[in-house]
Each structure stands twice: as structure tokens, then as C-alpha cells.
Structure 1
Amino acid sequence: MAYVITSLCEEEKAGECVAVCPVDCIREGDDQFYIDPDVCIDCGACEGVCPVQAIFYEEDLPEGEVLYLEKARKFFTNT
């Protein structure tokens, strides 16, 4: 499992999550930040610092935001 950055990041793109990630698994894309689901250790540090509450544990993703997990997977496959 992993944490996922959702659509709310597209408007904000604040970046506090990058600074607190102990495994450096968050990268900035053109439209938002992304968490590498294969590297994320599920610590939750990013979730607590997000000013717009755009980060959710994979199993707790709101309906309509599930596609952001696949979007992150594609981002890290193409980088």
C-alpha cells in the first residue's frame, strides 16, 4: 500500500510533503506532486503536512480520486 496525492494538489502544489518524506519518494510533475507507490513506506508524514489535505492512504481514497494512484504509477513508469 502507499499514500496517494490527489486532485487537490493540482490547484495548490505546495510541496511541504517533499521535505518531510524520509525515503525521498515524492517528485514534482508538471501538474502536481506524485508519490512513488513502490518506494513509499506508509509512514504518513506527508499526509500530516499537506496544507490542502490532498494526500490519502491508498485504501482511504475518496470516490473519484482512485485514478490518482494509477496516475502516479504511470508518472514513475515514464520517468
Structure 2
Amino acid sequence: MRRAEIRTTHGDAETAERIAAAISPDNTDEMSTRTDGDAVVTAVERETTGGLHATVDDYVVNLRVAAQLSDRLTSHDT
């Protein structure tokens, strides 16, 4: 089994919660997402290195979009 943990920080716990909520529906059975303060932490397990690589690539794209949308939401609030 191949494993990866991706941890990203987002400035505050509220933003991390919002981003985790946005990306969690895209998780496969081999993924889990949680928050830890201002961080979003996602664990991924896959049978093969190639499968792990593909899943992490997809996750990073989804995370980036969620973070960009969260930034836009935050900028509209101020």
C-alpha cells in the first residue's frame, strides 16, 4: 500500500473548515480529509505508486480551486 499525507495551511480555522468541506465530497474510499487548526490534512492510500500519483494530482487541482474560491469569498466579505 502506498500512502501520502497532504497538509496545507489557510490562515485561520474557519477558512480551513470551508476548504475541507468543499473538497471532501470528491474524496474516494481511499481518502480522508480533516482540519487541524488552520490546516487541511488529507490522507491518501492507493495500491500502486501510479494510482497514488494520479489521486494526489487530482486532489491538488481540487484543493487549489477550493482555496481560490475561498479567497474570493473572503475578499467579498471585507
TM-score, structure 1 as length reference? 0.42
Larger helix fraction of residues: 2
Larger radius of gyration: 2
Larger strand fraction of residues: 2
